Amino acid sequence: MRVPRLLTTALLALATAFAVPAAPASAAGNATQNAAENYVALGDSYSSGTGAGDYSDLLCTRSGNAYPARWAQASAPASFTFAACGGAKIPDVLNNQVRYLDQSTTLVSISIGGNDSGFASIMLTCMFSSQSVCEQRLDEAADYARNELPGELDALYATIRDRAPNAEVVVVGYPYLYKEGGFCLSMGSGKRAAINDGSDVLNQVISGRAAAAGFSFADARPAFAGHEICTSDPWISSSNIHPTAEGHEKGYLPAFSAVVR
């Protein structure tokens, strides 16, 4: 049974840290405005830059092309700590990443929840199993996202706020992975639609808990619209199902920058 679509297509039309050297301001941010920022980037592979190349840390696949590094390069904050790590789940953020936060932190970004929901195994299932098995796994993930993930996110967000009481926190969502409709060698249309419906469930839960915590939410779905897998100009790799360097530059970076105050 397909996971129900929560947002319509019409809405879319509307493990170490490193310092990034100062760079000229650009549309991504104003160097003068952000000179006092102490920015810490937390999260999973969609923040670390898995698939974007130019890795400073192969274990965590931290990429200089990822949106946190690009924002820091353009905005020249006072400090930048890149703690996001490929494969991270909520316990990993709590155990290994939040320690970089303190009262001097003024900006935090985080993407998390995909791995907790079983992203990697679901993608393998949908690639190599039947439509019904794919939808069953997505239904299971949706049940987890609705019933268990909210409490886990609440605890994580409370910890972030406690450790960084003065920070603006931006929670970054996940893009649709596939173009819907038409022919695609990577995956049938039914599976693609079901996966995107699952993205809606996950993003709705994450954005809801972010709002409850008083955090901002950067929605990646509109930013990547028209550049999913199976489009003529994809910003998501069909081989590893992660944003490419172009996806971080043209998708995630504008979405994040638009939310940062």
CATH number at residue 218: 3.40.50.1110
At 33 the pLDDT is: 63
Residue 1 lies in a domain: no
Residue 235 lies in a domain: yes
Residue 4 lies in a domain: no
Residue 189 lies in a domain: yes
pLDDT in tens, 123-171: 999 999 999 999 999 999 999 999 999 999 999 999 999 999 999 999 9
Sheet (strand 38-43) strand order? 79-82, 38-43, 107-111, 168-172, 216-218
Structural domain including 186 reads 9-259
Q: Model confidence at 216, in pLDDT bands (50, 70, 90)?
A: very high
Judged against a pLDDT cut of 80, whether residue 27 lies above it is answered with no
At 186 the pLDDT is: 86
Q: Please give the model's pTM, rounded to 2 decimal places.
A: 0.87
What percentage of the chain carries pLDDT values higher than 70? 87
Averaged confidence pLDDT in the chain = 90
At 32 the pLDDT is: 53
Mean pLDDT throughout 46-66? Answer: 97
In total, how many domains does the chain have? 1
Residue 150 lies in a domain: yes
pLDDT in tens, 4-19: 443 333 333 333 333 3
Judged against a pLDDT cut of 50, whether residue 67 lies above it is answered with yes
At 187 the pLDDT is: 95
Mean pLDDT throughout 68-89? Answer: 98
Residue 241 lies in a domain: yes
Residue 248 lies in a domain: yes
At 1 the pLDDT is: 39
Residue 94 lies in a domain: yes
Judged against a pLDDT cut of 70, whether residue 28 lies above it is answered with no
By annotation, the residues acting in catalysis are 45, 242
Q: Model confidence at 31, in pLDDT bands (50, 70, 90)?
A: low
